[in-house]
């Protein structure tokens, strides 16, 4: 890839950390939605609901924490565009923070003994509030991303008209695409948690296959809203469509025959799809990359980065293993 000088390492780190963030965010979105829907049906006592209710507070914290790294990298790669979109959205952009706070604490309330004593439909209102907060954040990020791709003349017009919202034909299809993609990604994570329950795996199979089919439709709709150059950037030649089609069909096939033994295959295919999706997503704005500033290219620090990355990875593994040991006691 012909990238501006000094940007390749940061772009690679951005895509990798974004893929991890996508997995955790998908779990949060689908888990809160599952609890809300099942609660409204008066059936929020199934194995999946019980599992995700217990893990949601931790998962929200993990998703937010995992979002820090891609947030820092995207600011470094697209400084002017990122901050211009921030300023133009103004207070609406800042509303992301209180929305995350409300959603975060709603997951604790949903897990509490007090909330569990409420009637099912009252209980459903709590994760529904959390789900709405997280969808609002997803919508805000989608709008922010698309706004950052606009021209300076369009930014000036938005500022001059004192608009706080940015809308374009790609907004809704792109948001729907991300929401539907979260279904098979979250289903993969939840499947590992309930892998000893055949009935739960069958429910997740329906969720994952429906999400894969819906996301393919949303992707086609989003692609149709793009201009000629945008479509060419996203497609990147026939290889992208061929590989994407093979991975998608393989995922559907693996989910249709899901079992505890096939979870590793589903996980590998999902990882390929998420990372590949993150790469394709970034193609649209690669022409907007600017060469890294001299202070960035001359900073160095690769050895220090690797050392502390290793230390942090070891600490995370130790924390997870300690938590798992306590859960089995």
What's the pLDDT tens digit per position in 224-249? 998 888 888 887 767 777 888 899 99
Question: Six-digit token pair at 282?
Answer: 């970034």
Helices within the chain (DSSP H only): 8-40, 47-66, 68-77, 79-89, 91-94, 96-111, 113-116, 120-148, 152-160, 171-193, 198-225, 228-235, 238-256, 263-283, 294-297, 302-327
| Number of other residues whose CB lies within 10 A of the CB of residue 185 | 26
* Candidate from 6-15, 28-37, 145-154, 209-218 with smallest mean pLDDT: 6-15
Average pLDDT over residues 248-267: 92
Q: What is the mean pLDDT of residues 136-160?
A: 94
Residue of 31, 196, 186 whose CA lies nearest to 103: 31
Asked whether the predicted pLDDT for residue 49 surpasses 90, the reply is: yes
pLDDT in the model for residue 34: 95
Is 151 a residue whose pLDDT tops 70?
A: yes
CA distances from 293 to 71, 143, 152, 289 (A): 18, 27, 21, 12
* pLDDT per position as a tens digit, 161-216: 988 889 999 999 999 999 999 999 999 999 999 999 999 999 999 999 999 999 99
Closest CA to 55 of 19, 22, 31, 29: 31
Mean pLDDT, rounded, for 297-312: 84
- The rounded distance, in Å, linking the Cα atoms of 33 and 183 is 10
Higher pLDDT, 8 or 51: 51
Q: What is the pTM of this model?
A: 0.88
Q: What is the pLDDT of residue 82?
A: 93
**68 pLDDT exceeds 70?**
yes
d(CA 183, CA 205): 10
d(CA 207, CA 180): 10
Q: Residue 104: is its pLDDT beyond 70?
A: yes
Q: How confident is the model at residue 97 (pLDDT cuts 50, 70, 90)?
A: very high
User: What is the C-alpha separation between 123 and 317, in angstroms, rounded?
Assistant: 34
pLDDT at 76: 87
Distance between CA atoms of residues 22 and 274, nearest Å: 8
**Confidence band, pLDDT 50/70/90 cuts, at residue 329:** low
| CB-CB contact of 40 with 121 (8 Å) | yes
pLDDT value of position 1: 53
Arithmetic mean of pLDDT, 290-297: 69
């Amino acid at each position: 890839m012909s990238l501006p000088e000094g940007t390749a390492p940061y772009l690679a780190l951005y895509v990798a950390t974004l893929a991890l963030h996508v997995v955790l965010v998908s779990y949060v979105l689908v888990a809160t939605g599952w609890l809300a829907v099942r609660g409204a049906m008066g059936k929020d006592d199934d194995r999946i609901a019980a599992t995700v209710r217990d893990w949601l507070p931790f998962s929200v914290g993990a998703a937010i924490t995992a979002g820090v790294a891609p947030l820092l990298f995207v600011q470094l790669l697209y400084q002017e565009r990122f901050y211009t979109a921030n300023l133009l959205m103004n207070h609406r952009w800042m509303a992301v923070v209180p929305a995350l706070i409300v959603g975060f604490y709603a997951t604790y309330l949903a897990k509490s003994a007090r909330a569990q004593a409420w009637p099912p439909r009252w209980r459903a209102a709590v994760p529904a509030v959390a789900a709405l907060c997280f969808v609002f954040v997803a919508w805000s990020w989608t709008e922010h991303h698309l706004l950052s791709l606009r021209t300076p003349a369009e930014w000036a017009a938005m500022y001059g008209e004192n608009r706080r919202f940015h809308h374009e034909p790609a907004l809704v299809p792109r948001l729907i695409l991300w929401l539907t993609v979260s279904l098979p990604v979250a289903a993969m994570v939840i499947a590992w948690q309930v892998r000893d329950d055949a009935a739960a795996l069958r429910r997740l199979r329906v969720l994952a296959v429906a999400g894969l089919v819906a996301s393919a439709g949303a992707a086609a709709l989003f692609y149709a809203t793009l201009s000629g150059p945008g479509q060419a950037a996203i497609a990147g030649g026939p290889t992208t469509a061929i590989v994407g089609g093979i991975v998608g069909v393989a995922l559907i096939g693996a989910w249709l025959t899901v079992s505890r033994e096939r979870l590793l295959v589903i996980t590998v295919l999902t990882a390929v799809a998420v990372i590949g999706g993150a790469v394709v997503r970034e193609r649209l704005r690669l022409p907007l990359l600017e060469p890294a500033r001299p202070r960035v290219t001359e900073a160095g620090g690769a050895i220090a980065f690797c050392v502390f990355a290793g230390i942090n990875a070891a600490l995370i593994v130790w924390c997870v293993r300690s938590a798992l040991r306590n859960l089995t006691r």
